[in-house]
């Protein structure tokens, strides 16, 4: 039995797609499928319902998922606690791109205290970071949360702490706003160019909600799609259209020439939330979690 099979299985259970899971595990789909089959032979039961789409677990698979996740966490904890001091004092944080490049430096200065705690980041989109956390590849998960679009976590297994709130607002370049060339809310004859998040991204659903729930109808067209806030912010700076950006995008001052538009009609609030597995008993994780929870939102 290879412990990598457990990681493969937990990843597949989370993403429900063999191709995507194989990509995340950096193996070919054929090799990934063989490893899942080998795990099923070792367990002595079918864990995956291959006739279903999207892929789902069998009842035996659902039971084994809890076992596999627990074992992966125990293995990671044992390696860290038995290892030398640097290993014992090391934490792994899964974090979205938008927060890693903006909020994290300030947080880490406060959380790390006098030093002694080291950290490695698992940076990606919301889906990838949640998958890594669910699979036990990270000790903590920090990301955005919006009530209408909760992330897929079994909260019986995790505890959470809200770090703060942010507004996601539509922004345009100051020069474009002052030129009079952008007329809101747009018309059929003159639709507004929208710089939107890729449909598979978390913020795509958040922004769509803001537009759909507004009493003011926005008439626009999708001029550009990207997954990362930095890309959309840079395009907005070039007067290419309207981009929805969270407050954290402006921490560095790089986007100072963008101005909000819409008078709040298409704004939406999101939370920044930290998560920790209740079963993670590592001392350094507990120490860091106490510091996170002591931080005022």
Among 169, 143, 7, 167, smallest CA distance to 75 is for 7
Domain 1-79 has CATH 1.10.10.10: yes
With a cut of 90, say whether residue 240 has pLDDT above it.
Answer: yes
Q: Provide the pLDDT for residue 84.
A: 53
pLDDT of residue 105: 92
Residue 99 reports pLDDT greater than 80? yes
Summarised one tens digit per residue, pLDDT across range 2-54 is 888 888 998 888 888 898 888 878 889 899 999 999 999 999 999 999 887 78
pLDDT in tens, 252-266: 898 999 999 999 999
Predicted TM-score of the model (pTM) = 0.74
Q: Where are the domains of the chain?
A: 1-79, 166-271
Q: Quote the pLDDT of residue 113.
A: 78
> What pLDDT score was predicted for residue 207?
96
> Are 135 and 72 in contact, with CB atoms under 8 Å apart?
yes
Q: What is the pLDDT of residue 68?
A: 87
d(CA 130, CA 53): 21
| Mean pLDDT across 234-257 | 95
- Quick one: pLDDT at residue 87? 64
pLDDT digits (tens, 9 = 90+) for 122-156: 898 888 888 888 877 899 999 999 888 888 777 88
In angstroms, the CA 205 to CA 180 distance is 29
Determine contact, residues 3/75, Cβ cutoff 8 Å: yes
Q: Please tell me the distance from the alpha carbon of residue 57 to that of residue 73, in angstroms, as a whole number.
A: 21
Confidence band of 100 (pLDDT split at 50, 70, 90): very high
In 3-state terms, the chain is what percent helix, strand and coil (to 5)? 45, 25, 35
238 three-class SS:
coil
Residue 229 has pLDDT above 80, yes or no: yes
Question: Under CATH, which number does the domain 166-271 receive?
Answer: 3.40.190.10
Band of pLDDT at residue 77, cut at 50, 70 and 90: low
Per-residue model confidence (pLDDT) at position 80: 61
pLDDT in tens, 186-226: 999 999 999 999 998 899 999 999 999 999 999 999 999 99
Model pLDDT for residues 153-168, shown as the tens digit of each residue: 778 888 999 999 999 9
What local confidence, expressed as pLDDT, does residue 191 receive? Answer: 96
Q: What is the pLDDT of residue 297?
A: 57
Alpha-carbon span 257 to 238, nearest angstrom = 10
């Amino acid at each position: 039995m290879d412990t990598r099979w457990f990681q493969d299985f937990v990843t597949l259970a989370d993403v429900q797609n063999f191709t995507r899971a194989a990509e995340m595990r950096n193996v070919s789909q054929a090799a990934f499928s063989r490893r899942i089959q080998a795990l099923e032979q070792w367990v002595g039961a079918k864990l995956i319902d291959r006739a279903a789409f999207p892929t789902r677990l069998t009842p035996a698979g659902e039971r084994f998922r809890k076992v596999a996740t627990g074992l992966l966490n125990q293995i990671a904890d044992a390696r860290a606690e038995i290892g030398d001091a640097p290993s014992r004092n090391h934490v792994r944080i899964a974090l979205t791109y938008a927060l890693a490049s903006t909020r994290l430096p300030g947080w880490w200065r406060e959380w790390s205290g006098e030093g002694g705690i080291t950290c490695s980041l698992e940076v990606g989109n919301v889906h990838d970071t949640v998958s890594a956390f669910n699979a036990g590849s990270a000790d903590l998960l920090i990301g955005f949360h919006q009530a209408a679009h909760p992330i897929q976590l079994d909260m019986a297994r995790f505890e959470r702490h809200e770090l703060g709130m942010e507004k996601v607002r539509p922004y345009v370049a100051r020069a474009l706003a002052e030129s009079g060339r952008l007329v809101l809310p747009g018309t059929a004859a003159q639709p507004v160019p929208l710089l939107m998040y890729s449909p598979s991204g978390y913020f795509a659903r958040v922004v769509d909600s803001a537009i759909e729930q507004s009493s003011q109808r926005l008439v626009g067209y999708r001029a550009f799609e990207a997954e990362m806030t930095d890309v959309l912010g840079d395009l907005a700076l070039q007067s290419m259209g309207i981009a929805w950006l969270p407050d954290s995008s402006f921490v560095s001052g790089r986007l100072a020439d963008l101005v909000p538009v819409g008078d709040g009609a298409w704004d939406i609030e999101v939370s920044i939330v930290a998560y920790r597995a209740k079963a993670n008993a590592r001392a350094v994780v507990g120490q860091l979690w106490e510091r996170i929870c002591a931080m005022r939102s």
